[in-house]
Amino acid sequence: MSNRKNKRKASGRKGETQRNTGVSAKKHLGQHFLTDTSVAARIAATLDPDGPTHVLEIGPGTGVLTNFLLERPIDLVAVELDKESVRYLEEVFSPRLAGQTSPHLSFRVVHADFLKLDLREVFPGKEFSVTGNFPYNISTQIVFRVLEHRQRIPEFCGMFQREVAQRICAGPGSKTYGILSVLTQAYYDAEYCFTVPPEVFDPPPKVASGVLHLRYRAGEEIDWDHNRLAHLVKTAFNQRRKTLRNSLKSLPVPDYLKEDAIFDRRPEQLTVREFTALSKRIWDDTI
């Protein structure tokens, strides 16, 4: 995890507050609407200005982040499950863009569940960035979906529950280092940008939030099988207090490999590189 210049806690001084939108937060959707515009501006600023001109926003809600994203010359698709929010977003932002003539600025709302959306159809054949104030109840699943399409998503940034954000960025030896840490860092450089307090949301969540920026390592040769790596990592951390020799008994580990000293270690002691190398050794030697 590297140190970004903007790595700091969000100021206790609030920016402007979004006016009343008439859209109510739904508990079953895990909605907590960000109301502080200064925080939204900082999240939008985490997007690389030289990154893809196609951007997918997940869970725009009342559009406080959307507003700042549309200050950029991008093609923006906002995926929202809540019908009330979809209606509000279309009423507010579609008229605003009606007079635009730039070929690199467009906006549309897709009424859908992101976890069920066919991402191949959103920006066909194009690379795109993913951002948003991610619903806490599906944020981990969002990460895993992004990993499935990682070669088309060079940039992934946005707001998570702080505990999840810290877990994504955690390193070996940390109590929070686990499945999410290893699988994300196998492909992305993860940076923790800043912390967001509960009081800038409506309704306020019971926990703090954290904003991350993930950058895909496109120039790096990836020569392991993702599904096998995921199987290895999940199997190891499902019994994280045991050594690999005991936790990986269900995997087809060659007998000679079991004598390697790495199997005397627990999963939280292995680096991401050691996991990817071990994945190759297990399955390359059994084919």
**What pLDDT is attached to residue 3?**
43
**What pLDDT is attached to residue 31?**
74
Q: What are phi and psi of 109, to 5 degrees?
A: -105, 130
Q: 190 Cβ partners below 8 Å, 6+ apart?
A: 1, 168, 169, 184, 212, 213, 214
**What pLDDT is attached to residue 221?**
61
Cis amide prior to 203 (ω within 30 degrees)? yes
**What pLDDT is attached to residue 30?**
74
CB 251 within 8 A of CB 235: yes
Average pLDDT value for the chain: 88
What is the band of 23 on the pLDDT scale with cuts at 50, 70, 90? confident
Percent of the chain with pLDDT over 90: 76
Question: Is domain 226-284 classified as CATH 1.10.8.100?
Answer: yes
Reference 43, options 19, 30, 22, 59; nearest CA is: 59
Percent of the chain with pLDDT over 70: 87
Q: Considering the entire predicted model, what is its pTM?
A: 0.87
**What pLDDT is attached to residue 105?**
79
Q: Give tens-digit pLDDT for 142-168.
A: 999 999 999 999 999 999 999 999 999
Q: Which residues pair with 195 in a beta bridge?
A: 210
CATH code of the domain occupying 27-216? 3.40.50.150
Domains of the chain, residue spans = 27-216, 226-284
On the question of pLDDT at 65 being above 70, the answer is yes
**What pLDDT is attached to residue 56?**
98
